[in-house]
Structure 1
């Protein structure tokens, strides 16, 4: 599932291409992607100028001239693609769900093979409510180790589960939780409140480092993810533990282990991430 770095990569690719453009038409090919009837959604965005493209957690937020937004969640397999002109032949996305035709001739297509993603139109007030329900953005300068320590100390949830909770911290999923915990030397099953102050500071640093490095690499493509230009992310080549069960640890050569808890797989090095 695309996480913060993948969403941020798409935002950075899309922003210069669509900012200032006007949506002349929205074409909904798969209405189940929307959270409201197609007949209500399409007139709300038609004729509006795009003022910017931002991100909140794992979501892509297209800001419109009337202060409303198009809020896109990529789900498991969603792709938000931009084409300077309508694609034809093999370039045409095969699982298009929504198309936004732009005044300058370009087109933005939300393509989603499994259709777990969503496209919503949110008025300014609802956008604020949605955002306020989420945890802090880990790459902001205002998110400090002290904030992480305080929040972890109030929870008995396993560290990996805590990181995946979007109400506690925004944008982290399985891939980057696994990588950050490895770099901080924390077993993903460790209760959050049992992580000592030194490890919390290491975790704060590793979260930020991993996310920044993944963004620099254009995100991680395991299978479906593509950026706004349709290109794969390259961070998968740098993964320490995620998806590497049985492979040697890059630090100590011990085999990477996969464990299942909370109905999800977690990856760790049992030597570099000893249990408490």
Structure 2
């Protein structure tokens, strides 16, 4: 037995008889062993979602050969699919404003290898975190944003995304709103963390709204960005129990842990190919 290599196949398609048979039969033909297979059949939309982690001998040109031979099956089944090597790292661009807790968490997780990402840069509309970012040996880009300079700022951002080969943009408490044009262009590859358990308590001070309502839990929501503010498909949420003794400031502090965890989970699941977009919903196979 030669060196072993693992790949991930992800797909979604209209429901139909024999899809799992087609996929597993294809893997058997290529002498692949299934390590993990997860699927979800959405009966309401008649749609199948599947993620397969498989292994086998490392053969030169294997990935390209398998992609070429799987393409006719995918076309017949109308699949939206991707086949890639397991552990392939995603190029991520982080955007942040004043609050650094989510940024710091992502930098640490990338450095320790707990996230399968390469951070290609950090963009901020404030210069505050330059020293932190550069200590991690990551390029820092200060792009101030005002109402008048917003088009130019977004053009510069797009240039950075293109030049660095960014595959995923992560808004780690970036407090500027993208234009509809940019939101649409980056649809499906931009994740935002909202410091609230959406869809409740939207806006600039959700924790203060929560305190006014006497909530017993606080939470955070990681979601894809679309043209509707805070309405993108939800990927991950975290909650923490609180009580009447918490001040609004205490809720802010408690909420920061939920924000960091929800965001890191969303980034991890996206980069591992576990998140499937369908309309304004997600299916997360984990």
Shorter-chain TM range is under 0.3
Higher Rg of the two aligned structures: 2
Return the TM-score normalized by structure 2: 0.23
Choose between structure 1 and 2: higher strand proportion: 2
Bigger relative contact order, structure 1 or 2, given CA contacts below 8 A and separation 6+? 1
